[in-house]
Chain A
Amino acid sequence: MVLNSATLPLPRNAVGWIKPTLFTAALLPLLWFIVAALGDALGANPIEAIVRGLGDWALRLLLLTLAVTPLRRLSGWGWIGQLRRMLGLYAFFYAMLHVLAYVVLDQFFDWTALGHDILKRPFITVGMVAFLILLALAVTSAKRLVKRLGGTRWKRLHSLIYPAAIAAVLHYAMMVKADLRNPLIYTALLALLLGCRVWHRLLYKPLESR
């Protein structure tokens, strides 16, 4: 349901150009990493820069995905909801590249080391949990799967994005040596986005059930 009765003015067909623009914009970080890698502009430790940079973008897109519903409710622009799946798939796309970069560039298929890392290092365990959830959500994101699973079950499954986002931010915070500033910024943003949902529930659930 729409939160404000007075929707902000914006052409109804805005999604017609916003969606392709956003689609292209979300590819720019990847393009930048390719250009920078070819141009040797990623610093002394390009592998670390690529692994971390892709992780940053996965996290940013995950938060952007979670921002869709609160923005839709606040603005009253129903079409914003049409961006959610694309953004979520992009979050998964960057998370997958992040994991691939870790497996191929950082560890170069050293499966023993990878196994130890995933089982023994809590920050990698937590990151892997987040990735596996995103994988499950990406696989079940197609429209026909919504139908096959049934709306309620599909929704319940996809509410796993909340633990995935919490795990992703935790993964980042647990990796950092001493300077927690950036992980705390992500934590605050995630808390805000989850808080919006709690607030919405508290305000509207009682009304709806009445």
Chain B
Amino acid sequence: MEFREVMQEKYKEILESYMKDQNEQALYLSQKFSRKSIEHKISPEEIISLHKTALLDLGIEFSEAMLPSFDILLEVMMAYGLAYREHQNLRTIQQELKSEIEVAANMQQTLLGTQVPDVDCLDIGAISVPARQMSGDYYHFVQDEQGAVSVAIADVIGKGIPAALCMSMIKYSMDSLPEGQYEPSQVLESLNRVVEQNVDPTMFITMFYGMYNTVNHTFYYSSAGHEPGFFYDHKTKDFKELYAKGLLLGVSKKTKYRQFEKKVEVGDIILLMSDGVTECRTEEGFIEVDTLKGYIQKYIHLEAQEIADKVYKELEFLQGFQLRDDFTLIILKRIK
């Protein structure tokens, strides 16, 4: 028997049984039938036609005059049928897109992957959580032969897929910098030229680039419009802003970046972040910088990675577990 004939028979059975004694079982079977119909893409108007045929087949007594009314019902349901089919098509397309984006997001993870360097004198922690599937935030570690650890933290303005593609471009530029050329101001100047030339004029990048010299324990840094980081002074138990002003990458070709430096003692901590951290919004308004410092202070005795994870958990909780912006926090703690 053809599938439709089976459906026809089944429908007739259910209808007959219900017409006889209005039993619950028939109602239950109808629900099952309805799910099965949807599964097999049977449209609403086909169901009406089924109903009409079943009534005639069963020879149930009803006024002949009623019969043409089903034609009207059928016509009326036609548009619903079309809408339903369109919905089905869109669902398929949506599924396809979703899986493609998943592939892209995984690819981004792989492409942009970075290894947290392992150095004796530093305890390093990093966390980066995207607000949507693909992140506009990015961080990258580079360790050179002299033992210097460089860290870049960036935010592509403009979110989603275009931002992610742009990030990949930046990462490749960073990886292809000549060996030994990790002076923060130079790195930013050279990346600025890349972004200025290649990127759509409405897309921009903020970046903070720092280099920790493990010999003289000095942190050299420059910023291209990025949120300033914090410096935690272990002796005074005080936070200072790692202020470094500089123009966003990609706005003007000739931009020069100023380089700053900070001597780091044992116990001191460098905190770098994206604006998703400081521009973190809650129901009641913004999180003030002091609130953020409070959280950091609360966990400051822990290991770097734990501090990052715990601060993220607190901010996530404050925002009702719904991030509005990508979130990235990097912590460098001098341990000896």
Partners in one complex: no
